[in-house]
């Protein structure tokens, strides 16, 4: 579903991604951990062309994200959930979810907010998946922060994407609400067979919800493994090497076994 090879990205003289190699299978729920500035958000932004990578290979949902000129088609297949909701406060909850269908509408219909019956039915189904169908006609600015983020999840689901990219989706929420939002995201994606790549700061949530965890440090991949493999050695690689100048081999089960036998 996602194939990345030797991906690099920098801004002027600031290298952000330094040769990322990563493959994500269809239906996986992958969590990326790392310090602020490790390159997590930039990696996601390269996947849907909010940022253009400098070099390497990047295929997402069957599209060459480095070379395609049809960015609209890429973003139909790759939905995004942002940290700060990115909802339109004055619109109803239902209309916010329906904005996930704008990529399938012509310009006039989009401007007039005209949606087909099947799109409305789809939007209501997406709200049902995050248990907000009863709020469909409410103004979105009347919701709590956690409910707004659930609207963001429903909007992403309404795109019928193959991949969802979630950039710190629970960073501004309290622990209980963050857990609830992650529950909705994982369960909805799993039931629909959607691949998810989710940036997080919370290690406990990463272990609970991720099928697989990726660790980034200074723009390099330093861990790739299952949640139960995220031990102190791995966490030290991810969080205690913010200025590493040389590539670090990813911490995996095999490298731990080799160390144990040394």
Query: Over the stretch 158-203, which tens digit does the pLDDT of each residue have?
Result: 999 999 999 999 998 999 999 999 999 999 999 999 999 999 999 9
Q: What is the pLDDT of residue 172?
A: 87
**Position 89 pLDDT exceeds 80:** yes
Render 30-65 in DSSP notation, one character per residue. Answer: EEEE--TTSSHHHHHHHHTTSS--SEEEEEETTEET
**Position 111 pLDDT exceeds 90:** no
Domains of the chain, each with CATH number or no CATH: 2-261 (3.40.50.300)
Contact 97, 155 (CB under 8 A): yes
**Position 57 pLDDT exceeds 70:** yes
Q: What is the pLDDT of residue 110?
A: 52
Residue with tokens 């000129």: 69
Residue with tokens 């939002």: 181
Q: What is the pLDDT of residue 158?
A: 95
Mean pLDDT of 46-60: 95
Alpha-carbon distance of 170 to 149, in angstroms, equals: 8
pLDDT in tens, 11-50: 988 999 999 999 999 999 999 999 999 999 999 999 999 9
- The string over 57-87, giving b where at least 16 C-beta atoms fall within 10 Å of a residue's C-beta and e elsewhere, is ebbbbebebbeeeeeeebbbbbbbbbbebeb
In the β-sheet with 29-33, what is the strand arrangement from edge to edge? 78-81, 163-167, 195-199, 29-33, 212-217, 220-225
Under the banding of pLDDT at 50, 70 and 90, the label for residue 113 is low
List phi, psi (to 5°) of 200: -140, 160
pLDDT in tens, 116-165: 899 999 999 999 999 999 999 999 999 999 999 999 999 999 999 999 99
105's CB contacts (< 8 A; 6+ apart) are 114, 115
Q: How crowded is residue 188: how many other Cβ atoms within 10 Å of its Cβ?
A: 21
């Amino acid at each position: 579903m996602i194939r990345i090879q030797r991906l690099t990205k920098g801004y002027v003289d600031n290298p952000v991604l330094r040769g990322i190699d990563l493959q994500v299978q269809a239906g996986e729920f992958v969590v990326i951990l790392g310090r602020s500035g490790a390159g997590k958000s930039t990696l996601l932004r390269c996947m849907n062309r909010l940022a253009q990578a400098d070099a390497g290979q990047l295929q997402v949902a069957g599209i060459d994200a480095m070379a395609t000129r049809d960015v609209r088609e890429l973003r139909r297949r790759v939905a995004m959930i942002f940290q700060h909701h990115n909802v339109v406060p004055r619109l109803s909850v239902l209309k916010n979810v329906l904005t996930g269908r704008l990529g399938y509408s012509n310009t006039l219909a989009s401007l007039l907010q005209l949606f087909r019956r099947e799109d409305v039915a789809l939007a209501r189904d997406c709200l049902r998946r995050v248990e907000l169908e009863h709020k469909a006609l409410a103004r979105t600015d009347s919701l709590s922060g956690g409910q707004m983020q659930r609207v963001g999840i429903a909007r992403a689901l309404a795109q019928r994407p193959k991949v969802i990219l979630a950039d710190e989706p629970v960073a501004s929420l309290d622990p209980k609400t963050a857990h609830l939002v992650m529950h909705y995201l994982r369960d909805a994606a799993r039931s629909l067979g959607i691949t998810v790549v989710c940036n997080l700061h919370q290690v406990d949530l990463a272990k609970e919800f991720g099928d697989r965890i990726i660790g980034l440090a200074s723009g390099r991949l330093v861990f790739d493994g299952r949640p139960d493999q995220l031990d102190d050695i791995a966490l030290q690689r991810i969080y205690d090497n913010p200025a590493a100048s040389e590539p670090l081999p990813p911490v995996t089960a095999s490298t731990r076994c080799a160390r144990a036998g040394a």
